[in-house]
Amino acid sequence: MPTDKEIATRSRLRCEIDVTPAFYDIDVMEIVYHGNYVKYLELARSALLAKFDYDYPRMRESGYGWPVVDMRLKYVRPATFGQRLKVEASITEWENRLRIDYVMRDAQSGQKINTAYTIQVAVDMRTREMCFVCPPVLWERLGVEP
């Protein structure tokens, strides 16, 4: 069972954004093309990391690249043009890799559109080598302990 502190940490390490599919996101079936949800994940992840002052430009300044090494999306129901969506992103691992979990919902009904996760690892930009433990800068920014 998670401690109170763990619960507080988890609830702090999250962020929710609004997304509305654009005309160019929709395919001939009149639903969002499955590959375009990846962009919505990016927007949510970017907002979440910006909240901790560690979005892409800050990552770079810290000397680390954070390539995505694993990504999975499960599609529950389709979204369409102009539908208002909520994308919630939560940091769920930060020790050896940065895992973010996502839930996308219809903004009005709360019905689930899809769920996803991405896993990123730190790459030292000087040596181009992958780090098997996340660099301390991540923990400092997130205010967590490894």
Q: CB under 8 A: which stretch of 6-14, 31-39, 85-93, 132-140 binds a copy of itself?
A: 31-39
Number of residues that bind a copy of itself (CB under 8 A): 34
Cβ-based nearer residue to a copy of itself, 1 or 29: 29
The angle subtended at Cα 91 by Cα 88 and Cα 96, nearest 5°, is 155
**Which of these, 119, 86, 116, 84, lies nearest to 102 by C-alpha position?**
116
Contact 34, 77 (CB under 8 A): no
Which of 63, 82, 143, 146 touches a copy of itself (CB under 8 A)? 82
**Is 27 a catalytic site residue?**
yes
Separation between Cα atoms, residue 113 and residue 79, nearest integer Å: 7
Coil vs helix vs strand at 60: helix
Residue 139 lies near a copy of itself (rule: CB under 8 A) = no
Residues making contact with a copy of itself (CB under 8 A):
22-24, 26-31, 33-35, 38-39, 42-43, 46, 50, 55-57, 65, 67-75, 78, 81-82
